[in-house]
Structure 1
Amino acid sequence: MDYSLRSIGVRKVILITLGFNLLVGLTKIIYGMIVNSVAIMSDGIHTLFDGFNNIMGLVGIYYASRTPDEKHPYGYRKFETVLTIFIGLMMFFTAYTIFHRAFESFISNQPSTAGLEAFLVMLVTLSVNFFVSAYERKKGLELNSEFLVADAGYTRSDVYVTLGVIAGLILARLGFSKADPIVGMIVGFIVAWMGVTIFRNTIAILVDESVLDSHDIMERVCAIDGVESCHKIRSRGPEGNVFIDLHVQVDPLISVNDGHEIANVVKKDLKTKISGVVDVVVHIEPVTKPEDKP
């Protein structure tokens, strides 16, 4: 997909998600303060930070959408990957904030005044969060955007968190006075775990972890006319922006021009038949036949 078109698509999704996150987050926080529910306020803070992530996403995508140049021959796409780490950091900070508020509520033993209307508010925001998460993830996969997929995961954690808050409110109404802050603490652990997951996936991209099956590539390349064998196959990059390097062995008696043509065929085959491959570097070398060995 063209860099500019992809950037426009990603920015559009972020803006839509931002609007919903701000609306839902502020609604939860204001209502949580009114009814003195730390779980609802914590859930709202979590959602509001997701909106802040969206704003940072707009800035990061602007840089990530730049086309490759002399200084950045592999492009700027990893700006988006670095931005995804920021989401993980924000999740850790959010988890700390939620846990801290929940602990204070647990110590102070202030009862929540949340009633039936609290359930209605949480059910409505739960529905919105579910829609936003599903929409953002769907678009993230379509646009091969690790930021959108990670941010969708953050929003999806909102769904789990809200379900926990509803459970806490039910338990509180049944007489379990400590249920609300305890659920708030559980919320903090859930958000922290989501942050760990994002970090793990993002670090894999930054350290150039192999992303394609080398055996599959070898079988595909060796089926091409003129290729005797291939080895030293490497692949790296996020989905939709994959780079492949490999060594291809050919008959030592063919001309340089023929070897170059084989390399072009290999490049074209891998780029057109494997989704997300943007560049292939082929090193041509002569195959050593048994009779040629000393």
Structure 2
Amino acid sequence: MSAGRYIFILLILAAGNLFSRKATCQSAEKRTTVPAFMSWFESDIVGKIHGPFSWQTDIQFRTSSNERNIGNGQHGNPWANPFQVVVRPWIHYDLGATGLKFSVSPMGYWATWNYYNGEDTFEPEIRSSFQVQYSSRAGRVYLTNRLRYELRWYGQEKPVNSGFHVPAGSNTDFFSDDSFKQRLRYMFRAWIPLSGKELVPGTWYVSTFDELFIGFGKNVTSQHTFDQNRFYAGLGMQVGHMMRWEVGYMNQVLPRFNQPPDYNNVELNHILATWLFFDNVGALFQKKSGQKK
């Protein structure tokens, strides 16, 4: 398939994201869109184990403004409130030239501060994930299709005063049957070099993706099957053979149907997203070939 067709698919997904946002906002009486501005930083650190095996650690730090339905200001400051801190490990098995990679994250931890209901609360989550990824090339365009299955257990939601405070007793009862949810995520992503045909050190590139989230299980109602959608476009640079960075804009749509106190809200988040990738962190500590001891 040509690069043009893959880019056309990505544009269709992005159009679907805009259509779903419009539809969810207009299809029900008194449904409102609640925007917020956010800053998300993520560092993905990858290291080799042996042969096709590698490890990865994702570290995420997210902050947010107040949403427009909260009347105490700070609506335009994406760093006004804590939102999430995440640590997630992975083990990968890469099939090399086939483009396939299988991954498992045995247990990651999410610390989430909520404030959309006008009351600050903290809710922790433990998550296990299974993933299959297919990477390919279409001319100069690098492509990735990724499917992820998530098992999610929530701790106790507790009120919190302010800041990155973790209230006592919140990290309990994770594995209650009533707190368990499941989710599927599909992402289609493209990297397009701007200053050449290969992602070699010093190359600037455009990165874009669309990711759809579908929730399911007995604790997920039919109104929340469509969990969210994320669309991202940004600019990055291949700094070295093992390090990249990106910065861009992400649009996140989250329906919050039948949830008090403001029923039928749709959250629309405008996100400044920054990534720092270490594709082989071990190489940073290796001596160059031929270097004297």
Q: Same fold (TM over 0.5)?
A: no
Between Structure 1 and Structure 2, the one with more helix by share is: 1
Structure with more of its chain in strand, by fraction: 2
Which TM-score tier does this pair reach, normalised by the shorter chain? under 0.3
TM-score normalized by the length of structure 2: 0.27
Pair member with larger Rg: 1
TM-score (normalised: structure 1): 0.27
